[in-house]
Amino acid sequence: MNDAQELIPAARPVIGEAEIEAAVRVLRSGLVVQGPEVAAFEAEFSDVVSNRHCVAVNSGTSALHLTLLALGLGPGDEVIVPSFSFAASANAVRLVGADVVFADIEADSFCLDPAAVEAAITPRTAAIMPVHLYGHPAAMDKIMAIAERHGLAVVEDACQAHAAALNGTPVGAFGNAGTFSFYPTKNMHSLEGGMISTGDAEVARTLRLLRNQGMEKRYANEIVGANVRMTDVSAAIGRVQLTQLHGWTEQRIANAAYLSEHISAPNVVTPIVAEGARHIFHQYTVRIRGDRDAAMASLTEAGIGNAVYYPTPIHRLKPYWEPDQKAGRTWDLPETERAAAEVVSLPVHPGLSAEHLERIVSAANALGEQL
């Protein structure tokens, strides 16, 4: 890297003055645990999910875990999950004692392949968990039709996909429930945090009980629950970020459009946007045809942040691989394996300048001569 060239980071979490002021305001109020800020954040976030009920928790992983509990999933149930995702998707299934069944992804969208989902259904299948990976909505029209035909629950892992949509319906508003993460590198954050959206008032109430020791009224515990509450400090920060989400998302979409228009190296395959999809580009992920390690080294040399999400598909991670090996169970996931070997994500965040975008394009196009 040329000394004059600053590194363009792969992600750039925002903690601005407004976030700091909101946090200080809550700290000075003395009401820091789950309180009025959390309730306001839930009400405001419901705008993002077609006015569904929203329940805030302390992380995206907790959101997934509690949702599966609230839907009554547990031992003996199978949940169909893509292996090409962050481990949290499958971990939530295993945390409730249910079995993970991996299904392959579509080559173009990187999301669950509806045909593979259908083929993975058994008499024990209880739910499908599509992941809107990189901010691209999964094929929810087809997945919902399969779920209805077989009487299955659908839990959308929308942890990377705030305000993504398919045919005008936002993610998190298709399935029985949707889950969002507010981890710092996500499109908006609350330091740590998560949100569940659901159209079912009963499920929403169960989620509120589960996040707070099973209590609605203090010390009148109705069910067994945990403590996965969001603090009011996090909610206040999340509320500030939510006011920026629309503008930031438009900027991500514009940055992605610029990159796709100008990256022309034949061995760098730019991402697609499926018909009817609003891809909100949590990640801008290309496929490298050729030596990916060399490509990444060359991008780093040019000062372009880059990363692989995810180099090891979940079914190859130890807590999944070892029991499967023992049981003699194998998965046929050719597109998952190919994606894990080929993908690289380039910076697309709203903090990029025009000059940053030009530098990313020229570094990507230089790979055409190098690989």
Q: What residue ranges bind ligand PLP (CB under 6 A)? A: 59-61, 85-86, 88-89, 131, 157, 159-160, 181, 183, 194
Residue 170: enclosing H or E segment and its boundaries? Answer: strand 169-170
| Burial of 273 (C-beta count, 10 Å sphere; 0-12/13-18/19+) | middle
Q: What share of the chain is helix, strand, coil (3-state, %, to 5)?
A: 40, 15, 40
Q: Shortest approach of ligand PLP to residue 18 CB, angstroms?
A: 22
Catalytic residue among 186, 217, 318, 326: 186
Q: Do 235 and 183 form a contact (C-beta atoms < 8 A)?
A: no
Q: Do 90 and 81 form a contact (C-beta atoms < 8 A)?
A: yes
At 7, list the tokens. Answer: 């590194």
Measured between alpha carbons, how far is 38 from 41 in angstroms, rounded to an integer?
Answer: 5
CB closer to ligand PLP out of 307 and 371: 307
At 364, list the tokens. Answer: 């990507």
Q: Which residue is nearest to ligand PLP (CB)?
A: 60
Is 186 annotated in the active site?
Answer: yes
Residues with Cβ within 8 Å of 123's Cβ and at least 6 positions away in sequence, in order, are none
Q: Shortest approach of ligand PLP to residue 278 CB, angstroms?
A: 18
**φ and ψ at 218, to 5 degrees?**
-55, 130
Measured between alpha carbons, how far is 65 from 234 in angstroms, rounded to an integer?
Answer: 20
How many helices and strands in the chain, by DSSP H and E?
A: 12, 13
Q: Do 336 and 104 form a contact (C-beta atoms < 8 A)?
A: yes
At 348, list the tokens. Answer: 């697309």
On the CB side of 65, CA atoms within 13 Å amount to 21
Q: Shortest approach of ligand PLP to residue 157 CB, angstroms?
A: 5
Measured between alpha carbons, how far is 311 from 112 in angstroms, rounded to an integer?
Answer: 17
CB closer to ligand PLP out of 136 and 287: 136
Measured between alpha carbons, how far is 58 from 24 in angstroms, rounded to an integer?
Answer: 19
CB closer to ligand PLP out of 121 and 228: 228
SS3 304: strand
Q: Do 53 and 199 form a contact (C-beta atoms < 8 A)?
A: yes
Catalytic residues: 186
